[in-house]
């Protein structure tokens, strides 16, 4: 429980810092992308198998909470999203809120021969 309070507090801090630094383009990626669990948010399922993701790209809305679920249908995988702190474990869900842009989703679990090529795109707009 305490962890969540700390986490929420740090999110608030990031929001304050982001608001203050909005004139400075370099600070805009300080937000982690990870937000508090929100079961009301729409869900996007990213299916993974050895060694590829089901879709060549995934699309979500900018600035809105989305539940990203990683579903592995073959093998054990995990994902991380470039330019963010978002990491999602095998068959886990994470609520994320991202700024518009193009991100790369890649597998972060060494899962065998094709691991290094296990990437897909996330379009946030
Ligand atoms: Cu992998």
- Ligand 1 centroid to Cα of residue 19, in Å, is 36
- Ligand 1 centroid to Cα of residue 70, in Å, is 13
Instruction: Write the pLDDT tens digit of every residue in 61-110.
Output: 999 999 999 999 999 999 999 999 999 999 999 999 999 999 999 999 99
- Provide the pLDDT for residue 20: 52
**Fold entry, domain 32-124:** Immunoglobulin-like (2.60.40)
Q: Kindly give the residue spans of alpha helices, DSSP state H, lying in 1-125.
A: 2-20
Host H or E run for residue 80:
strand 79-81
The neighbouring-strand residues paired with 71 are 47
Residue extents of the structural domains in the chain: 1-31, 32-124
Number of C-beta neighbours around residue 12 at 10 A: 10
Computed over every residue of the chain, the mean pLDDT equals 87
The answer to whether residue 25 scores a pLDDT higher than 60 is no
86 Cβ contact list (under 8 Å, min separation 6): 32, 33, 34, 68, 80, 94, 96, 98
**Mean pLDDT, range 8-30, rounded to an integer:** 52
Q: Tell me which residues have their CB within 5 A of the ion that is ligand 1.
A: 107, 109, 111, 115, 118
- Provide the pLDDT for residue 109: 98
**Mean pLDDT, range 118-124, rounded to an integer:** 98
């Amino acid at each position: 429980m305490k962890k969540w309070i700390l986490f929420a507090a740090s999110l608030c801090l990031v929001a304050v810092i982001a608001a203050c630094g909005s004139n400075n383009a370099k600070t805009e990626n300080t937000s982690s992308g990870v937000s508090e669990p929100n079961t009301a948010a729409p869900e996007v399922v990213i299916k993974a198998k050895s060694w590829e993701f089901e879709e060549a790209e995934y699309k979500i809305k900018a600035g809105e909470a989305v539940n990203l679920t990683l579903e592995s249908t073959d093998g054990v995988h995990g994902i991380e999203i470039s330019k963010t702190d978002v990491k999602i474990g095998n068959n886990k869900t994470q609520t994320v809120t991202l700024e518009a842009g193009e991100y790369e989703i890649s597998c972060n679990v060494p899962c065998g021969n094709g691991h290094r090529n296990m990437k897909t795109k996330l379009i946030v707009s």
